[in-house]
C-alpha cells in the first residue's frame, strides 16, 4: 500500500508584537510583594521616577496608570479657558485628543509631514490663533518631528508645546532627548511599547512651577505630598484630581525593563536596521516609502512602517502576509474624520497627507524576540506579496 505523503509543517507565525522580558521582572515584583508596599508611590515607583528624571533632566516625573492618564494630567495643568483650543495631529492615537477634549478644550486637527509623519509646522502656522493654548507634537515611531519648525509656527504667541512621546523614550533630536523640548511630555509603558509594565505611563514636568499642582492632581486633589514633606500637619482636599498613580507592582516590573534599556534598544535597533538594509535597495523600484532618520538623530526604534503605492495594494499585501503567518497590520484611522473628532473639533480642517498615509501604511512585526531569520522572512513575504 502506498503511504500518503505527510504535508509539510507550516512555519510558525511571526507575531506583530511580543512584550519584552529581560529577566529581573518577576524577582522585582516578588520583592515588591514581600516588601508590603504595593500601592502607588512605593520604593520601586521612586526608583523608576528617579531614573527617568535623571535621563531627562526633568523638574519631576510622575508615574501614572497609562499615557492617557498622563495626557489628562497635562490637560488639567493647562486648564481650559472659554474658547481655548489645542492643536493635535490627526494621525495619532485617540488619547492625544481625548485627554484635552474631556477637560473642555476644543480640538483643532493638523496634518502631518510626509518625511516623518509628525505634525506639520506649516499647517500649524495656518491654524494657530489667539485661542490656541497648546500644540501637541507626537514623535511617530520614535522619530522626532520638526520641533524648531513648530516654535516658528507659533509666531511669538504664548503657546505651550507638549510632547506625546509614547513611541520615543530615550530618543534624541539635535543632541536633545525627546520629552525635554516643551513644557510637559508624556510616556507610555503599554504592552505594545519598547518598555512595558502591561499598562503604565509617566508625565515629565519640565517647568518647576508645575510640580506642586501636578502632585495635587496625582494625589486625588489633595496636598498629600506637602504632608509627606512635613510642610503641613495633615492633608486635605485642595483641587480637582484623580487616582492617577501607578502601583508599585507595575513599577517593579517596569524598573527591570528600564535597567535593561541598552540591551532592549540595541536589539530593536538591529531589527529596524535589518528591515532598512533589505528594503531600501528595492524601495524606489517598488514605489515604497520607508522611515527616514535625520543624520545625527537617534530614534526610539519603536516600529518599522512601509508606505505602499495605494490603499488597495496595502490591503491586498497585508492580507497576503497574514495568510502566510506574518502578522503585519495598519495603524491609525484619521481622527479629524472620526465621529468623535468631528464632535469635539473647534472647526473642520483638511488633512490630505493624513488621509493618504493612513490608507497606505503597513507596520511590520517589531519586537525583541525577532531573529535575523524572522526579519528576512518578513521582508521576503512582503516582496512576494508585492509581486
Q: Set out the domains of the chain in order of their start, with CATH numbers.
A: 25-259 (3.40.640.10), 261-386 (3.90.1150.10)
Average pLDDT, whole number, for the chain? 96
Place of cell 509666531: 155
Encode pLDDT of 312-352 as tens digits. 999 999 999 999 999 999 999 999 999 999 999 999 999 99
pLDDT (0 to 100) of residue 2: 47
HSE value, Cβ hemisphere, 13 Å, CA-based, for 81: 5
Given this model, what pLDDT does residue 1 score?
A: 46
Which of 115, 116, 180, 176 lies closest to 143 in space, CA to CA? 116
Compute CA distances 78 → 132, 137, 208, 239, 379, whole Å: 12, 16, 14, 14, 45
Task: Give the per-residue pLDDT at 40.
Answer: 94
pLDDT in tens, 50-89: 999 999 999 999 999 999 999 999 999 999 999 999 999 9
Query: Mean pLDDT per segment of 10 residues, for the chain of length 387 residues?
Result: 56 91 94 96 98 99 99 98 98 99 98 98 98 98 96 96 99 98 98 98 99 97 88 93 97 98 98 99 98 97 99 98 98 98 98 99 98 98 97
pTM of the model: 0.95
Given the DSSP bridges, would you call strands 160-164 and 184-188 parallel, antiparallel or unpaired? parallel
Output the pLDDT for position 9. 64
Amino acid at each position: 500500500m502506498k503511504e500518503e505523503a505527510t504535508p509539510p509543517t507550516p512555519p510558525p507565525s511571526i507575531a506583530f508584537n511580543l512584550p519584552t522580558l529581560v529577566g529581573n521582572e518577576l524577582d522585582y515584583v516578588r520583592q515588591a510583594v514581600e516588601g508590603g508596599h504595593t500601592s502607588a508611590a512605593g520604593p520601586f515607583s521612586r526608583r523608576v521616577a528617579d531614573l527617568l528624571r535623571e535621563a531627562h533632566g526633568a523638574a519631576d516625573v510622575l508615574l501614572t496608570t497609562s499615557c492617557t492618564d498622563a495626557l489628562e494630567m497635562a490637560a488639567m495643568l493647562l486648564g481650559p479657558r472659554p474658547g481655548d483650543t489645542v492643536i493635535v495631529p490627526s494621525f495619532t492615537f485617540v488619547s492625544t485628543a481625548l485627554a484635552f477634549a474631556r477637560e473642555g478644550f476644543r480640538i483643532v486637527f493638523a496634518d502631518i509631514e510626509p518625511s516623518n509623519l509628525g505634525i506639520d509646522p506649516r499647517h500649524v502656522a495656518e491654524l494657530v490663533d489667539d485661542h490656541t493654548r497648546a500644540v501637541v507634537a507626537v514623535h511617530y515611531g520614535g522619530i522626532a518631528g520638526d520641533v524648531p519648525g513648530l516654535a516658528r509656527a507659533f509666531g511669538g504667541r504664548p503657546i505651550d508645546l507638549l510632547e506625546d512621546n509614547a513611541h520615543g523614550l530615550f530618543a534624541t533630536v539635535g543632541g536633545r532627548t525627546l520629552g525635554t523640548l516643551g513644557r510637559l511630555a508624556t510616556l507610555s509603558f503599554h504592552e505594545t511599547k519598547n518598555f512595558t509594565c502591561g499598562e503604565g505611563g509617566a508625565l515629565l514636568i519640565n517647568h518647576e512651577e508645575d510640580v506642586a499642582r501636578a502632585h495635587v492632581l496625582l494625589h486625588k486633589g489633595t496636598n498629600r505630598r506637602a504632608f509627606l514633606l512635613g510642610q503641613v500637619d495633615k492633608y486635605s482636599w485642595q483641587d480637582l484630581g484623580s487616582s492617577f498613580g501607578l502601583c508599585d507592582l507595575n513599577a517593579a516590573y517596569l524598573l527591570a525593563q528600564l535597567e535593561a534599556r541598552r540591551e532592549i534598544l540595541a536589539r530593536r535597533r538591529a531589527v529596524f536596521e535589518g528591515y532598512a538594509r533589505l528594503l531600501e535597495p528595492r524601495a524606489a523600484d517598488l514605489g515604497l516609502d520607508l522611515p527616514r532618520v535625520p543624520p545625527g538623530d537617534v530614534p526610539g526604534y519603536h516600529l518599522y512602517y512601509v508606505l505602499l503605492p495605494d490603499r488597495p495594494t496595502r490591503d491586498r499585501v497585508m492580507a497576503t502576509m497574514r495568510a502566510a503567518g506574518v502578522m503585519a497590520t495598519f495603524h491609525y484611522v484619521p481622527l479629524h474624520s472620526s465621529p468623535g473628532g468631528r464632535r469635539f473639533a473647534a472647526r473642520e480642517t483638511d488633512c490630505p497627507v493624513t488621509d493618504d498615509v493612513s490608507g497606505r501604511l503597513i507596520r511590520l512585526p517589531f519586537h525583541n524576540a525577532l531573529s535575523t531569520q524572522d526579519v528576512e522572512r518578513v521582508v521576503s513575504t512582503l516582496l512576494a506579496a508585492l509581486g
